[in-house]
Each structure stands twice: as C-alpha cells, then as structure tokens.
C-alpha cells in the first residue's frame, strides 16, 4: 500500500475503498505463497517434517521408524491331577474374555509328576498396545492340554508398543545425531532404545548409570516395559578347564555376558582342590567373559583351573552387549570406548501395587472401563526409566483421560489410605506395576 501511494496518483486507501480491497487481496495471495513455500522448506528438516516426509528425512541420516512390538508376559498354569508328567507345547494358546487377542507360549515346558503349577512366557498374537492386558485378563484355556484347569496372570502385561509416532521418531533421530561419537552416554542410550533382538524384543527404557565409586565402569540399565529384571532370560554357562602356562596377566575366556557369581577352582590335585578368591587371585570382566589372573595368585605354572558355576544372559541383553563390544574384525563396529567397561544389565524392578477407586459415567460398562484403566496405568509404569518416580497426580491424570471416568482416588492396596508419590529405592531401579486394581464405587467414598 505504501508503494502504491508513493509511486502512483492513487491515494484512496480508506477502509472499504476499491484500492485497499485490491491491495488486501494481493497481499493475502503473497502471504499464502510464503506459507506454502515455508511448508515445503520445513519438510526437509527433522523439526518440520511429518509422516512420509519425516521417514525420508530419518532415512537420510540412517535410521528407520520402529515397527510395533508384540506384548510379552508370564502366566501361571495350574492343574489338579499331578500323577503324570505333562508337556505344554510351544505355541499353546491362551485367550481372554474381554478381547479377541490371543497369546501363545514361547517355548515347550514340562510339568513333572507332583508339580501342580508352572510359569510360562507368552506373546500376544497382534503387535501394538492392543496386546497389553491388565492383571487377571488372560483367563481362557483356548488350546492347552486338558489337564490344565486354570490360568493365573498375576502381573499386568504392558510392554506392547505401537509403531513409533512422529514425535518419538523425531526425538530419536535427534538423539542419534547427538550420539555420532558413539562413546557418549547419549549414544549408548540411543543404541539400546533402537536395538531389536533376534526374538523381536526391544528395550523401551535405557539409562546409563555411571558407578560413582569406580571410574571407568558403567551400567546400561534396560527394561522392556514388563520388569525384565524379574525374568531376564539366562542359562548355565559352559565349564572351562585350562592348564596354566603363565600366571601374571593371564586372561581366560568363558561364555558371556556373565550374570553374577562365578567359581574358579584349582583342580590340579583333585583330592585337595580349592577355590580362588575374586579380587585377590583374579578379577572378572563379566560383560566380556574374561577372567584376569592377578600377580600373586594362589596358583602356579602347570596348575589346572576349572571355571564353572556361572550363568550367562541370553536374548536381548546378550545381543545388545555384543553390539556394544563390537566385532574385533570390523573397526566401524562397537560403542564401548577404550578403557571403559559398559555392562548391559536388566534394571532392578520395584513393583507398585495400587487400588484405583473410580467413579464411572452413568450407563458405562463398568468392567470395560476398569480394564481400560488398569491397562492405561500399567502402560504408564512400563514407560518409566530407571530412577524415575511415579507421581500420584500423573496417575490420576492418566486415569481421568480414560473414557467414561468421572473421578478417581489412588489408595494403598486393600486400604482406604490415600497413596503417596512412589520413588525407586535407588537410581538404578525401575518402577513397574504389580497388582493394579480398578475398583468401582457409586459414591466415591
């Protein structure tokens, strides 16, 4: 408008004039063109892109959108007739009355004579949060041996994950760019949150904990949302026997990663064999399966050592540990910096039991609402990383976001005492749902 008045004899720019109306139309078209151009420009940035455009930006830096994950958990199968052994086949099916989703056993297990119950691991038939289930939801004997009489699902299943959202992918892509040095804490946490094991399991939370009393040692605490520390997959490590041809500085390799205890025994003289002492005779690098004999160890050249009595992690923990250690034949692999021990561990689990006293809308299906509340709260706990608290206000906010909820109060289990904020007992610990019960009340009292 200023240019028009300055450069021509047209000066009538009063409100409602023909000239002003024309100028406003032209200005609006210019503004819309600028907005469209800005949108096109933003599609070429992580912050501005969305959907397929964001997938393309992420692929340009080398990462893909994470797919949905099927929920996994544990149930207890019971029987009354224990006079004969019975095998629960791989792929046996368990159902639930509140959903069409089914769950299959992940391995074949045998109930020996005299055993009335056994714990089995199961996986949902569908990927995503549809496979999550509140405690006690898995209760249908769909395809199990006839001697099985009942199912008990003590803990909620909340580790099913939908396909990664735009916000999640954008945040992970940003973490990736910040982690290109690999050895930084953010790089290790990024790796853990992006890594998928061969059995399709994936860590939903990862926290790097640097030991304050030991320089150069840190723990990558992971969880798959279900409380992995309570049921981390492991097996017995192979016994290794070796004859010493040197003492100081000798390194003996065994299977890895080692869970905890390990027994090193001098069996040179079987009649007088004795155990070596960790810290005095040797030290162990559990993440790599290496036993380093120290100077002054209570052995000599020619001694025969037996390494046994240990367990090793398998599955997600072991595969992620190998990814961090890298391949000695590939200089581009690995995330562990020189001189630093990075040990992948399942985060210790602290279970939280709650009663949620809910008031539902008139006409709502009470059972459906209760199940939805329990599932939503279990999913919240499964998202907490090591050291993160669970605030009562946040739990209330999550419950109130469920359809047909009018009010809720959070109580200690089996009491009318209001619950307080929950804090992990240590910065290494994750809070996970134990028994979460949604109890209905007409009055809310």
Over residues 320-359, the pLDDT tens digits come to 999 999 887 787 788 888 889 999 999 999 999 999 999 9
User: What is the structure's pLDDT at 46?
Assistant: 84
User: Contact at 8 Å (CB) between 46 and 54?
Assistant: yes
Confidence band for 87, pLDDT divided at 50, 70 and 90: very high
Q: For 292, phi and psi rounded to 5 degrees?
A: -105, 115
CA distance 358 to 335: 47
Confidence band for 155, pLDDT divided at 50, 70 and 90: confident
CA distance 157 to 229: 15
Q: Domain locations in the chain?
A: 2-60, 70-152, 179-231+316-346, 234-313, 349-440
CA distance 120 to 107: 8
Strands 117-127 and 99-105: antiparallel
**For the whole prediction, is pTM greater than 0.85?**
no
CA distance 40 to 31: 14
More confident residue, 200 or 342: 342
Q: Is 210 helix (H, G, I), strand (E, B) or coil?
A: strand
CA distance 389 to 224: 17
User: What is the structure's pLDDT at 248?
Assistant: 59
- The mean pLDDT value for 46-70 works out to 89
Q: Is 381 helix (H, G, I), strand (E, B) or coil?
A: helix
Question: CB neighbours of 265 closer than 8 A, spacing ≥ 6?
Answer: 273, 274, 275, 276, 305, 306, 307, 308
Average pLDDT, the chain: 90
Which of 40-54, 159-173, 284-298, 342-356: highest mean pLDDT? 342-356
More confident residue, 120 or 337: 120
User: What is the structure's pLDDT at 249?
Assistant: 65
Q: For 328, phi and psi rounded to 5 degrees?
A: -60, -20
User: What is the structure's pLDDT at 238?
Assistant: 95
Query: Exposure of 282 by Cβ count < 10 A (0-12 exposed, 13-18 middle, 19+ buried)?
Result: buried
Q: Is 415 helix (H, G, I), strand (E, B) or coil?
A: coil
User: What is the structure's pLDDT at 339?
Assistant: 86
Per residue in 223-273, pLDDT (tens digit) is 998 889 998 999 999 999 999 887 656 889 999 999 999 999 999 888 888
- The mean pLDDT value for 59-79 works out to 91
Confidence band for 154, pLDDT divided at 50, 70 and 90: confident
Confidence band for 120, pLDDT divided at 50, 70 and 90: very high
Instruction: Judge whether residue 428 has pLDDT over 70.
Output: yes
Residue 365: both structure tokens together: 């299906």
| Listed range (67-76, 241-250, 369-378, 381-390) with the worst mean pLDDT | 241-250
Dihedral of the CA atoms 350, 355, 359, 361 (nearest 10)?
Answer: 50
Closest of 215, 444, 435, 232 to residue 337, by C-alpha: 215
Name the one residue in this structure whose structure tokens are 């690995």.
334
């Amino acid at each position: 408008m200023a240019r028009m008045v300055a450069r021509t004899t047209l000066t009538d720019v009063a409100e409602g004039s023909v000239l002003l109306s024309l100028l406003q139309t032209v200005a609006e078209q210019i503004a819309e063109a600028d907005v469209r151009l800005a949108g096109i420009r933003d599609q070429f940035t992580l912050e501005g892109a969305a959907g397929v455009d964001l997938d393309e930006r992420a692929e340009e830096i080398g990462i893909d959108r994470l797919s949905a994950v099927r929920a996994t958990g544990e149930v207890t199968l019971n029987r009354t007739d224990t006079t004969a052994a019975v095998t629960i086949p791989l792929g046996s099916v368990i159902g639930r009355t509140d959903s069409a989703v089914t769950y299959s056993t992940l391995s074949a297990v045998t109930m020996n004579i005299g055993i009335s119950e056994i714990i089995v691991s199961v996986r949902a038939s569908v990927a995503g949060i549809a496979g999550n289930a509140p405690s006690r939801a898995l209760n249908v004997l769909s395809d199990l041996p006839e001697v099985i009489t009942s199912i008990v699902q003590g803990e909620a299943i909340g580790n099913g994950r939908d396909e990664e959202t735009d916000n999640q992918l954008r945040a992970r892509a940003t973490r990736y760019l910040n982690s290109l040095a690999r050895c930084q804490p953010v790089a290790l946490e990024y790796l853990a949150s992006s890594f998928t094991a061969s059995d399709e399991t994936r860590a939903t939370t990862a926290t790097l904990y640097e030991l304050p009393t030991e320089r150069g040692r840190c723990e990558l605490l992971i969880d798959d949302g279900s409380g992995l520390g309570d049921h981390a997959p492991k097996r017995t490590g192979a016994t290794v026997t070796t004859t010493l041809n040197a003492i100081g500085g000798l390194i003996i390799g065994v299977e890895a990663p080692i869970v905890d205890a390990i027994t090193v025994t001098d069996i040179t003289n079987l009649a007088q064999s004795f155990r070596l002492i960790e810290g005095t005779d040797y030290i162990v690098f559990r993440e790599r399966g290496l036993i380093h004999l120290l100077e002054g160890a209570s052995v000599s050249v020619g001694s025969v050592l037996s390494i046994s009595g240990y367990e090793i992690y398998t599955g997600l923990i072991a595969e992620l540990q190998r990814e961090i250690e890298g391949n000695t034949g590939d200089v581009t692999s690995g995330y562990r910096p020189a001189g630093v021990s990075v040990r992948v561990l399942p985060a210790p689990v602290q279970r939280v039991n709650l009663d949620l006293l809910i008031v539902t809308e008139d006409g709502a299906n009470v059972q459906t609402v209760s199940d939805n509340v329990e599932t939503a709260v279990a999913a919240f706990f499964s998202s907490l990383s090591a050291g993160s608290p669970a605030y009562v206000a946040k739990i209330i906010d999550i419950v109130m976001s469920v359809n047909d909820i009018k009010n809720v109060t959070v109580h200690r289990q089996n009491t009318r005492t209001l619950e307080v904020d929950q804090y992990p007992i240590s910065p290494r610990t994750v809070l996970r749902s134990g028994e979460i019960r949604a109890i209905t009340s007409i009055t809310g009292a």
